[in-house]
Structure 1
Amino acid sequence: MLGYLRLFLIVLFASGLVFAEEYNCIEHANPESGNIPIPVCRRECIGRVPDCKPNCYDKCPKHSKCVEPEKCKCDEGYVKNGPDTNMTCNPIVCPPNSQMVNDTTCKCFDGYKGDIVEMNAILQSCEPICEPSCPAHSFCASPKKCECDKGYVKNGPDTNMTCNLLVCPSNSQMVNDTTCICPDGYQKVESLQSCEPICEPSCPANSFCASPKKCKCVRGYEIDEMSDDDPTKLNHCKPVCYAECPENSVCVSPDVCKCNPGYSPITNKSGTLASCLEDSFTAFTETHIIIYSFLICSVIFTIVTVIAMIVICVRKENPAEVPDTRSWHTSFASYAEYEMNENINNNSMGKN
C-alpha cells in the first residue's frame, strides 16, 4: 500500500512540473515523517498542485495574463504599451509595406527598411530604400524610385533626375501643389506649354482670341463690323492707314494704300502712293507719244515758216532798208558785220 502511495505522489509531482514549470510556482516540500518530496504551490502563487498559477494582485489588463508574480504578459497578436504598473495590450497592426510573422512580429517587405520602438521591439514603419539617395526636393516613394515634393516637377530620367520649382504658365492654376491645369474657357497648348482662351466659332481674319468668347483685332487693324445677333461679337477687322489714303484709293493693309479699279498709281520718291489717276489719262503707249511729238513739231515748224514769210514780205515792201546781201553772203559772217564795214568805207570817202 505504501508503494502505491509513493507512485501516486511521483506521478502527481511530475504532472505538476509539466503544468507549472512555465510559471515556476511549484516547490518541493519534505514532510517530517518521510523522505518523499511533496510538490506544493509557492506562497506567491495561488491554486493547488498541479494548477498552481502566479498571483498578480493588480489584475492584468485585457488581452494579457499573469506569467510570474506581479508580472503580466500580452497575448499573442497583442503588444504591450506603457510601463508594467499601467500597461495595456493593443493588437499588433503591421505598418504598410510589411507583413506579420508568427503572430507576434512584423517584417518589412524586400526593398524596405523598418523603424523599431526600443521599449517593445515592435515595428512602427517600413520605408522604401533608394540608393543612391534622392536629390533635393524629392523623396523615396518606392524601392529605387524617387518622386518630387509637392510644388516641384521632375526633370530628366530616373537615373539622373532633378526637381525644379513648379511655375504654372499664364492663364492656368495649380492643383494639389503638383499639377497645373487650365481653368474653364481655356485649353492647353502642348507646343507652347500654356493655356489659351477658347473662342467658338473661331475669330475672323486679322484678329485673335483675347479671352474666352472674346475676339480682338491684331495690331494695325481696328473693328469694322460687329455681329447683329451679339453686339459683343467681332465680325470683321479692317486695316488702319495712319496717313490718309489719296482720292480714289483704299487702305488694304496697315499703312498700305491701293488705287481703286480703273485708276493707276502715282508714287513719290519713297515709293508711297501719292495719287491715283484715271486710266484714260495714263494709258499712253509709245506710238501715242511718237504721234503727239510729231504733231507738236509740225505745229512749231508751221508757225516758224509763217513768221519767216511775213518778214520776207515786209522787206520787199521797203527795198531801201534792205541792204545788198550779195557781199554779205560772200564776204561777211553776218549782216551786222556788213553794216559796220559799210559805215567805215563811207567815212573814208568823205575825208578824201
Structure 2
Amino acid sequence: MNFIWAVILLLCSATAADQRDNFCERNETIRTQVPVIKQRTIVKDPPKWKVWKKSQKITETYNSEEEQVTHRLIRECCPGYLQVEVGLCEPVCSRGCPAHASCAAPDRCECISGYVSARSHQDGSHYCEPICQTSCPAGAQCVSPNTCACRDGFTQLQPTGDGVSADCAPVCQVGDGCANGKCIDVERCSCNAGYRWDKAEERCAEVSAELMSEEQDTTEEIAESLSTSSTAAFTATECPEDYVLFRGECREKQFNSNEAGCLKSGCGAHQTCLESGTCHCSEGYVPEETSETSGVLSCKRTLLNQILALNEATDDEDELNPWTIPIIGVASGALFVLLIVGLLGGRRYRQERAAAASKEMECQYSQKTVDVDEYVP
C-alpha cells in the first residue's frame, strides 16, 4: 500500500514539474510497414482422367508486409511557448512588450524588477514606470530605479548637507527673472508685498496702499473659504492577488502584450482589426508585396475582385482601376468585330435571297423544237 502511494506522489510531482517547465505531453501513434514471412497452402487437383489420384496440398512460404502500430509519449512545449537553445520553454508574446518589461506568459507582459505597471493617459495602454524608494524632491521625477532628475523647466541647485543630493528649482524668464518677486513654478512669479503682477507688462508692478488693503481683504476671504472645505483621496491598503500595491494604488502585475495595437489606433484602408490587436486585409483584398519589406501592411484587390468590380471605374481612393481600360478596350474590340461579321453575313444572306427569287421568276420553256421543213397538212 505504501508503495502505491509513493508511485502516485511521484507521478504528481512529475506532472507538476512538467507544468512548471511549461512542457506538455501527448501520445503519438506511429504506423510503419514491417517485412514478415508468411505461409500459404495450395491445393493442386489431379487431372480429370486420373480419377484414382487425390488432391495434393503444397505449403509454401512468401515475403509480405504488415502494418505495425506503436505508441510513444512526446514531451513538447505547451501552446503559447517556444523551446529555446538551452532546452527550456519560454512564453511567446507575438505582439511584443513595452520597454522594461518581459514576456511572463503567452501574450502577457510583466515589468522587470525596479519597475511597476502604469497606464498611459492618452490611449490607456500599459507601460513600465521606474520605482524610487525615496520620493523625489519637488520639481524632480523618477527616471530610473532609485534615480531622480529635474523635470523640464527646472534646474538643479547646488548640493547641500551630504554634498550629493540637491533640490530642483523652477526657472522663470518672465518679468526680468521675477524681479520684485519669487519664482514659485515654471514661468510663474509670486510678487513681493507691495507689488502685483501686471499681465500687460508681464512683471511685478508696485501698487498703492488702497489697492493693497482691498487685496488683503480678498485674500483673507479666499483663505477662510478654503479652510472650511476638505477633500479626501482614496488610498488602497490591500490589493488582489494579481496586483501590487504602489503608493496607495493597486497596479497590475501582468497585462496584455502590445494591448493598444489596432484596437486603439485602428487599421488602414481595406483592413480589419482582429481581436489579437493586429490588422488583416479585408475580404477581397490581399497584402501587397511591399508590405513584407517595409513592415507596413498595405492591401490591394485580388485579381478576381478586380475583374468583378469593373463597374467601379475608381476605387475608394478615387484611383483609376488598372484593369478598367484594358478590359473595356478588349470588350469594345470584340463587339466591333461581331458587328462587322454581322453586317457582312446579312449582306451575303440578302444576295442569296435575291438570286433565288430571280430564278423562280424565269419562264419555263418546252424542250421540244419545231422543224420548219416538217410537213403540216
Mark yes or no: TM-score above 0.5.
no
Higher relative contact order (CA 8 A, sep 6+): 2
TM-score normalised per structure 1: 0.21
Say which one has the larger Rg.
1
TM-score normalised per structure 2: 0.20
